[in-house]
Amino acid sequence: MKNGFARSAGFVLLCAVLAAQPQAPAADRALARNILEELIEIPTTQADGTAQAAQAISARLLAAGFPKDDVRIITTDGNVANVVARLRGRNPRARGVLLMAHIDVVPARREDWSVDPWTFLERDGWFYGRGTSDNKAGAAMLVANVITLKRAGWQPARDLIVVLTGDEETAQRGIQTLAGKHRDLIDADLAFNTDGGGVILKEGRHSVFEVQASEKIYADYQLEVTDVGGHSSLARPDNPIYTLAAALTRIGAHQFPLHVNDVTRMFLERSASTQSGQTAIDMRAVAAVPPDQAAAARLSGSPFYNSQLRTTCVATKVDAGHANNALPQVARAVINCRILPGLPGADVEAVVRRLAGDRVTVTVLEAPIASPPSVPTSALLARIEPLAAKHWPGLPVIPAMQSGATDGMYTRNAGIPTYGISALDSNPDDERAHGKDERVGVEAFFKATQFWLELMRAFGDDAQ
């Protein structure tokens, strides 16, 4: 009886907590779910393209009453379609707010999954399907919310601009083209990106509301060593594989210097309150000016914290030789670098070339593109924090740098401060984006959708 009473009391408490949380009307939840289902069941890999998905989104917006001139499909690279939709504000002179997502996904093979990746499935409190977390949930939230606002007759003070790109996972020419050739369509005072940040889970519990304020800069370099080759019985010390291996060993052993920028400092200062023991002490010490080198060395033992504190370069591909009984004529490797924002990419390339050595040819496969941090102002955080607290009471709002790359790199580079706020649950111990059985929590999706609706209202009515 005692255990039964405890379970009953716990259930009543849970119901009370859930009832206190903001809930979207059933019609709004159904709309967001239907849009997510439609997008999941339209394959949008690089091979498929995104034209069909873009047309489906456009059709929904037009049916909701958006004028044709305010729903644009911009096609880049043949089968890559990008959608730009505008909810007009009352003040045409005020710069708008850009709301970002992408509708393309990485490939998924049915034989690798326990469910069909291209069939939307709700099971055990989860939505399954390729793109549920990366990033069709974000696209569905934005489209559903602007339709909800349009149908309600709500008009912001300034324009809300939804941009859905079609090749974020590959070339990212969609956002580059919009920023370069169609700047008038996406020009904004600031941008919020659904493809960054998130509500971080720790041991199954919400721990941090993360705002992505910067991201590391991507670069690829090819290392190549060539030789005339010959018969394997006539071994020589100048074997291209050995030369390349020695270069890779030097690069692997190299540690780039510690660098703490404003976003990283805010991340460390705020994250320290969520940690304990030596980790918390070290975070505060590294956030100090100047940063404590010994504390940084201890934090760098974690690959995640190391990625926050310095540029990293790592070998990701190796290819060498042409026969088992022949000396290699060519040995190649790819080095992938993630460069701290604000640091010159040319300096990193110079380090790679120096460490590679004179016998190794270094070719730039993908050059770094500058993307300065969007340091959150106190005024911005003061607007976001109460919105987050309404849905996730007690969670600290922590600006962070993302080690991966998003379309935000190009909007920041174009001078539009960009903040990643997916508002979706993110479990570092169960990361399925790009992987098997990708999924998003049902209630996490609806909660994030409601958060975004309130974010759009708050910043849409904040005309400068």
* pLDDT at 16 exceeding the cut of 90: no
13 found inside a domain: no
Tell whether 174 and 273 lie within a shared domain. Answer: no
Q: Provide the whole-model pTM.
A: 0.89
The pLDDT value given to residue 410: 95
Tell whether 65 and 137 lie within a shared domain. Answer: yes
Q: Which helix or strand (DSSP H or E) is residue 217 part of?
A: strand 217-226
Cβ proximity of 310 and 300 under 8 Å: yes
CATH of the domain at 106: 3.40.630.10
Q: Which range of residues forms the domain containing residue 289?
A: 216-366
Confidence of residue 9 (pLDDT cuts 50, 70, 90): very low
Q: Give the integer Cα–Cα distance in Å for 185 and 139.
A: 18
Q: Which residues of 35-139 form beta strands (DSSP E)?
A: 71-76, 80-87, 96-102, 121-123, 126-128
Confidence of residue 11 (pLDDT cuts 50, 70, 90): very low
Which of 366, 397, 417 finishes a domain?
366
Q: Give the integer Cα–Cα distance in Å for 232 and 235.
A: 6
Confidence of residue 462 (pLDDT cuts 50, 70, 90): confident
**What would the mean pLDDT of 3-7 be, rounded to a whole number?**
35
Helix and strand totals (H; E) in the chain: 15, 19
The pLDDT value given to residue 136: 98
CATH of the domain at 330: 3.30.70.360
- C-alpha closest to that of 374 among 98, 63, 13: 98
Which of 366, 381, 416 finishes a domain?
366
Query: Tell me: the pLDDT tens digits for 159-210?
Result: 999 999 999 999 999 999 999 999 999 999 999 999 999 999 998 999 999 9
Q: How many domains does the chain have?
A: 2
Confidence of residue 78 (pLDDT cuts 50, 70, 90): confident
Q: Which helix or strand (DSSP H or E) is residue 140 part of?
A: helix 136-151
Tell whether 292 and 335 lie within a shared domain. Answer: yes
Cβ proximity of 437 and 412 under 8 Å: no
* pLDDT at 352 exceeding the cut of 90: yes
- C-alpha closest to that of 241 among 255, 224, 253, 258: 224
Tell whether 411 and 307 lie within a shared domain. Answer: no
65 found inside a domain: yes
Torsion, Cα of 111, 117, 122, 124 (10° steps): 40
393 found inside a domain: no
The pLDDT value given to residue 405: 86
Tell whether 95 and 157 lie within a shared domain. Answer: yes
Tell whether 253 and 111 lie within a shared domain. Answer: no
382 found inside a domain: no
The pLDDT value given to residue 22: 65
Of 75-79, 101-105, 149-153, 311-315, the least confident: 75-79
Q: Give the integer Cα–Cα distance in Å for 259 and 270.
A: 18
**What would the mean pLDDT of 232-238 be, rounded to a whole number?**
94
**What would the mean pLDDT of 226-243 be, rounded to a whole number?**
96
Of 2-6, 41-45, 72-76, the least confident: 2-6
Phi, psi of 402 (to 5 degrees): -90, 135
Q: How many CB atoms lie within 10 A of CB 340?
A: 24
Tell whether 221 and 183 lie within a shared domain. Answer: no
Q: Give the integer Cα–Cα distance in Å for 123 and 115.
A: 11
The pLDDT value given to residue 18: 41
Q: Give the integer Cα–Cα distance in Å for 197 and 97.
A: 18
CA angle 418/420/424 to nearest 5° reads 160
**What would the mean pLDDT of 43-52 be, rounded to a whole number?**
98
Round the average pLDDT of the chain to a whole number and report it.
93
